[in-house]
Amino acid sequence: MSKAYIFFANGTEEVEALTVVDILRRAGVEIKMVSTTGDIMVTSSHDVTIKMDMLLDEVDESADMLVLPGGIPGVPNLLSNQALCDIIYKYNELDGKYLAAICAAPTIYGKLGLLKDKKACCYPGMEDELIDAKVCTDSVSVDGRFITSRGLGTAIDFALTLTAILAGQEKADALATKIVYR
């Protein structure tokens, strides 16, 4: 079974994050919601308090994918967390690991210098922060191990793309039909 970690900070955009969690769990992917705050409870950008599965210091190298949701001030809070940045750098060095982000969160990969010559998209107006990337306006962009998406309106497409990568295209297509998306 594939495994993914999705990282929550105070101010995370809950719809982007929980759409990914929901779709991947429906697909049979083990996805763990990880608090970057040191507290098991995290409050989203719209004041929804969510109980996490684990804390940041419990993260290991067993996941196939890291996922960063958007939201303000969630994204700046994620970026300012050095322990999380160290995990991202580590996963970037490991073979077969994917790095995904939606909305403003792809800018974290840009600011960490990981998007050089990679195709990437993000929330409109933040493209300058995709440092050294080949910026596109696709709803979801896949370039090697990097999967990026533009925002809340693209969250289902993003989650289904992650499903295709982690559980197979057939599973993603079946799930899209089951949730009456396609």
Which residues are catalytically annotated? Answer: 103
| CA–CA separation, 168 and 172 (whole Å) | 6
Would you give the distance in Å from CA 170 to the centre of its chain?
22
Q: What type of residue sits at position 9?
A: A
Contact (CB, 8 A) for 71 and 78: no
| CA–CA separation, 18 and 96 (whole Å) | 24
Specify whether the backbone of 117 is left (phi greater than 0), alpha (psi in -120 to 50) or beta: left
Q: What is the edge-to-edge ordering of all strands in the sheet holding 140-143? A: 54-55, 30-35, 3-8, 65-68, 98-102, 146-149, 140-143
